[in-house]
Structure 1
């Protein structure tokens, strides 16, 4: 899992070895973040807004 901010700075880069992961976004400032998940089946990117 990689989370980047609107400037492209990496905020989190973590290897996850389970089927699910809970991320606490409360530690991040308000703004838009991109969450990128790479699996054996492909890559998914989601846009998340923290208020």
Structure 2
């Protein structure tokens, strides 16, 4: 499936996983959209963590 990613993220008490994922998705959305000359949503609104 080309529309998702698997990642392992190490966290600590200072940074919540949700904030890390939100920041990462925001940065990658802007960069990918710039490369593809497009705008708008790229990732799903939520994430599934285990």
TM-score normalised by the chain length of structure 1: 0.30
Task: Select the structure that is richer in helix.
Answer: 2
Task: Select the structure that is richer in strand.
Answer: 1
Structure number, greater radius of gyration: 2
Higher relative contact order (Cα pairs below 8 Å, separated by 6+ residues): 1
